[in-house]
A = this chain, B = another copy of it.
Amino acid sequence: AQIALEQGYEARREFDARYRVLLANTKQAVVFVSVQSGRVEDANEAAAALLGLNADALRSSSFAQHFMDRSNVELTESLMNATLAEEEGQVTLTATRTQATVIAHPVVFRAGGQRVLMCRLETKESKAATPDAAA
């Protein structure tokens, strides 16, 4: 069991490292939100900047508190509904701090026995300026 344990530890560290490097170095704003609690499980600096705070403050906060439009339960429902859309679903929100219009593109998956939403965030302006995002 000791060898298996060490192999598991190494493999975990490898995915952990790849995950962290990818999240930190993608230019896109990304937030992971627990479906059960509505809390932010992880987020990058790009997402924090878009919402007008820093990544440490964004992590483990309630995701809904950063938007004017919806309660915690309503926001999770809206995001879950958008994941069911045939085309790429999205939810349009207004950021509390910056007043910017923020478009969230959610995907749902299971990790560690929990459902998690990954949301790409874009401001309405940057979406219009990026040809890729309109496709």
Contacts and interface: CB of A to CB of B under 8 A. Distances in A.
Interface of A: 1-2, 4-5, 8-19, 21-23, 25-28, 30, 32, 42, 105, 107, 109-113, 116, 118, 120, 126, 129-133
Given A15-B12, A111-B13, A112-B11, A22 B21 contact: no
B32 A18 contact: yes
Contacts of A27: 28, 120, 132-133
A60 B130 CA distance: 31
A13 B112 contact: yes
A111 B14 contact: yes
Contact of A19 (B22, B107, B110, B131): B22
